[in-house]
């Protein structure tokens, strides 16, 4: 993680709920296959706090081999692009004209100040949602509140019910909050396609003196 996050994260690490979460994870990593690998769980926090311009909230990490690496919706370059990310790329192409990439690694977004934060940061292999209810939600809620309080004029992209439930954590009088259906093939046609979140985000950033994101 970047130095700018450490004092905030260390404060959370010292709380009883996180101690319980850590104990759970230690056992989980010993007894099961867990994604992402230990060293990549906090990859999203490598983006400096003061550099963040856009926050995208995912659900839990991909639960297949070699997919998750700590950034929501992102996969390693050599892995097939998952369906939800394909739909994100389709919407970007339709919205901005940006060509569809040949891989699903979103590190280039993180490098530009996009925080790709999952609701839970770990998952057991082939068991979607398996690490919910163990403390990650309290941790990520705290990080969202922190961003809302500490920064101005951020863009929060909330896709799907889980992400939209975070809206109450965000001060929408000083940030842009955009909501849509989840990009999953099951729901993308219910309001994700055509949402134009990517161009709207860039218009807002530009209006507030920040460089737009090259999606």
Active-site positions read 60
The DSSP bridge pattern shows strands 123-124 and 34-35 to be: antiparallel
Cα angle: 52, vertex 119, 152; to 5 degrees? 25
Q: How far is CA 33 from the centre of its chain?
A: 22
For the sheet with 54-58, list strands across it.
114-118, 54-58, 155-159, 176-180
- Whole-Å CA distances, 24 to 9, 19, 77, 213: 18, 9, 30, 37
Q: How many CB atoms lie within 10 A of CB 163?
A: 24
**Measured distance CA(135)–CA(13) in Å, rounded:** 11
């Amino acid at each position: 993680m970047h130095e700018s996050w450490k004092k905030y994260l260390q404060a959370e690490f010292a709380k009883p709920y996180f101690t319980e979460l850590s104990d759970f994870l230690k056992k989980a990593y010993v007894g099961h296959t867990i994604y992402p690998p230990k060293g990549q769980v906090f990859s999203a926090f490598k983006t400096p706090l003061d550099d963040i311009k856009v926050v995208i909230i995912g659900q839990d990490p991909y639960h297949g081999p070699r997919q998750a690496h700590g950034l929501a919706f992102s996969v390693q370059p050599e892995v097939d692009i998952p369906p939800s990310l394909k739909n994100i790329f389709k919407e970007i192409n339709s919205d901005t004209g940006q060509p569809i990439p040949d891989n699903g690694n979103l590190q280039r977004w993180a490098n530009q100040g996009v925080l790709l934060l999952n609701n839970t940061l770990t998952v057991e292999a082939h068991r979607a949602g398996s690490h919910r209810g163990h403390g990650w939600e309290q941790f990520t809620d705290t990080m969202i509140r922190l961003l809302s309080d500490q920064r101005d004029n951020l863009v929060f992209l909330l896709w799907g019910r889980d992400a939209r439930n975070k809206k109450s954590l965000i001060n929408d009088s000083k940030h842009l909050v955009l909501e849509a259906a989840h990009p999953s093939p099951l729901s993308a046609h219910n309001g994700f396609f055509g949402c134009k979140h990517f161009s709207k985000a860039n218009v807002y950033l530009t209006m507030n003196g920040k460089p737009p994101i090259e999606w």
